[in-house]
């Protein structure tokens, strides 16, 4: 077997694999003899089918399989032994592939190779500064977040005032019959609750301006319409039963409660931060909110910083790709239609260009992607996802999540890329190749959205 590479240009090569009869004959003959022993055909005893007949029936197919195995292994070994860095995998030149396996004895298979570009890069000589955005929480943002927390840790207290749409009315429900008289066998509900704002707008006004001790006739079906969940909650029943209740009720209001914000005092700080917290005053509380906003968007800030690094480096060190080969590889390997490839290729091209550049940067900077680092990034990923949903994760559950994630190659690749990107970002920060820029959260989010759209 003879394998050679013809360089078309710096980004494209043709790999030729030439195979002679001596390369495959022994293996083909061995498989044909094995088939003779196993094949059962009418008119022949088991294992006594003539070799000539087997060869005539199955020879071409067996030869094609053996050639495919030889070519695949030979091409892979050649690429490995010659340290060829290729994009994707070799693509057969269909128009030049042999098709006659009946009479032909020597074969030549040709493949297109997309070559990973050589990048002229010396990051140690790079001295341009990359913008790093620092989000500055505005006073109004801090105040809004403060109000949210004070409200969140507040409580409902009983009032003597008239009810508003956001108060809670609590009372007793007694079902009425068709004559408007309390039904002897009707539904009776203690401690029924409703908030006027949750009632259909056409019925809402009847529940505003009421006080403890008031009595009103209500019809839950008119109050809530198709919202059987709210209706079931009000009637202390399930949704299936609630949707079949059309009767009116007397609602005797026993109390009216109103939400009251928490007092910003020592008890509040202990509830929010725990015993021993350093947050003692409202000023401390506001400063904590400011830092918390910064922490909340720290991942977005880091991603924006990496985006800026990508943009600046790809402008300074352009990365050429074998575009036609890459599009063809996407079409074959991903089974994407050509019109979709044309539409999405610019984004894919930029991602691939950065991946090649980032790999070279990681080599120059000595960034190592280890199993320990990948597991650490996976845990951080799980914590981000679960904290958004308010889920507490035990050590055992964390290990299960991490194990499941790392069983999928796509996540291992994502985490590896994150490690490399973070390492590149640390290099720029540590070497003072950063221009810090303050920005409001509103402007930062607007800028981030524009980047995502583009």
The answer to whether residue 193 scores a pLDDT higher than 60 is yes
The answer to whether residue 401 scores a pLDDT higher than 80 is yes
In degrees and rounded to multiples of 5, residue 109 shows phi and psi of -115, 135
* Terminal-residue alpha carbon distance, the chain: 50
Cα(247)–Cα(239) distance, rounded to whole angstroms? 15
Q: One fold for both 2-114 and 123-141+294-453?
A: no
CATH 3.90.550.10 assigned to 2-114: no
What radius of gyration do the chain's Cα atoms show? 36
Comparing 26-30, 319-323, 372-376, which segment has the lowest mean pLDDT? 26-30
Residue 203 near residue 285 (C-beta atoms within 8 A):
no
Name which of 89, 88, 92, 87 is nearest 321 in CA terms: 87
Average pLDDT of the residues of the chain: 91
Q: In sequence order, what are the beta bridge partners of 250?
A: 174, 217
> What fold, for 123-141+294-453?
Trigger factor, domain 2 (1.10.3120)
To which H or E segment does residue 189 belong? strand 188-194
Cα(231)–Cα(224) distance, rounded to whole angstroms? 6
pLDDT recorded at residue 335: 84
pLDDT recorded at residue 235: 96
**pLDDT digits over 110-134, tens only?**
999 999 998 888 888 889 999 999 9
Comparing 143-152, 228-237, 330-339, 380-389, which segment has the lowest mean pLDDT? 380-389
pLDDT recorded at residue 194: 95
Cα-Cα-Cα-Cα dihedral of 188, 192, 197, 203, to 10°? Answer: 20
Handedness of CA 174, 178, 184, 187 (dihedral sign): negative
Q: Domain residues of the chain, as ranges?
A: 2-114, 123-141+294-453, 155-260
pLDDT recorded at residue 177: 93
Cα(194)–Cα(171) distance, rounded to whole angstroms? 9
pLDDT-derived band at 229, boundaries 50, 70, 90: very high
Name which of 113, 116, 115 is nearest 75 in CA terms: 113
pLDDT recorded at residue 263: 94
pLDDT-derived band at 442, boundaries 50, 70, 90: confident
pLDDT recorded at residue 452: 64
Comparing 3-17, 21-35, 180-194, which segment has the lowest mean pLDDT? 21-35
- At the top level of CATH, the class of 155-260 is alpha beta
The answer to whether residue 453 scores a pLDDT higher than 60 is no
Comparing 26-35, 315-324, 407-416, which segment has the lowest mean pLDDT? 26-35
Cα(25)–Cα(28) distance, rounded to whole angstroms? 5
**pLDDT digits over 250-303, tens only?**
999 999 999 999 999 999 999 988 888 889 999 999 999 998 888 888 889 999
pLDDT recorded at residue 54: 81
**pLDDT digits over 177-192, tens only?**
999 999 988 999 999 9
The answer to whether residue 454 scores a pLDDT higher than 70 is no
pLDDT recorded at residue 43: 76
Residue 92 near residue 110 (C-beta atoms within 8 A):
yes
To which H or E segment does residue 372 belong? helix 371-388
């Amino acid at each position: 077997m003879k394998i050679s590479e013809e360089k078309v240009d710096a980004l494209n090569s043709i790999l030729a694999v030439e195979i002679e009869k001596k390369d495959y004959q022994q293996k083909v003959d061995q498989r044909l003899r094995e088939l003779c022993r196993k094949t059962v055909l009418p008119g022949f005893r088991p294992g006594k089918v003539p070799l000539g007949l087997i060869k005539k029936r199955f020879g071409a197919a067996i030869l094609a399989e053996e050639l495919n195995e030889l070519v695949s292994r030979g091409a892979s070994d050649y690429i490995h032994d010659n340290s060829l860095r290729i994009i994707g995998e070799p693509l057969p030149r269909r128009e030049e592939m042999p098709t006659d396996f009946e009479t032909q004895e020597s074969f030549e298979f040709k493949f297109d190779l997309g070559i990973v570009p050589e990048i002229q890069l010396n990051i140690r000589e790079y001295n341009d500064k990359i913008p790093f955005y620092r989000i500055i929480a505005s006073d109004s943002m801090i105040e809004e977040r403060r109000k949210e927390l004070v409200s969140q840790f507040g409580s409902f207290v009983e009032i003597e005032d008239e009810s508003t749409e956001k108060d809670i009315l609590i009372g007793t429900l007694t079902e009425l019959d068709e004559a408007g008289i309390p039904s002897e066998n009707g539904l009776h509900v203690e401690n029924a609750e409703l908030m006027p704002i949750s009632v259909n707008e056409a019925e809402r006004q009847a529940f505003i301006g009421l006080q403890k001790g008031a009595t009103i006739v209500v019809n839950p079906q008119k109050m809530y319409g198709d919202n059987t969940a709210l209706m079931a909650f009000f009637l202390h029943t399930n949704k299936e039963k609630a949707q079949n209740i059309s009767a009116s009720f007397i609602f005797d209001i026993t109390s009216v409660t109103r939400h009251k914000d928490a007092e910003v005092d020592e008890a509040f700080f202990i509830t929010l931060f725990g015993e021993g917290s350093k947050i003692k005053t409202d000023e401390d509380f506001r400063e904590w909110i400011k830092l918390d906003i910064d922490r909340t968007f720290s991942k977005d800030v880091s991603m924006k910083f990496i985006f800026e690094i990508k943009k600046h480096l790809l402008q300074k060190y352009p990365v050429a790709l074998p575009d036609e080969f890459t599009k063809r590889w996407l079409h074959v390997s991903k089974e994407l239609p050509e019109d979709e490839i044309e539409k999405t290729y610019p984004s894919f091209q930029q991602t691939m260009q950065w991946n090649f550049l980032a790999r070279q940067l990681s080599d120059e900077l000595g960034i190592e992607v280890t199993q320990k680092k990948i597991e650490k990034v996976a845990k951080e990923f799980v914590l981000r996802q679960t904290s958004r949903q308010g889920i507490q994760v035990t050590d055992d559950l964390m290990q299960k999540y991490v194990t499941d994630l790392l069983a999928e190659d796509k996540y291992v690749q994502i985490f590896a890329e994150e490690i490399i990107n973070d390492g590149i970002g640390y290099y720029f920060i540590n070497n003072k190749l950063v221009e810090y820029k303050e920005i409001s959260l509103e402007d930062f989010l607007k800028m981030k959205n524009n980047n995502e759209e583009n």
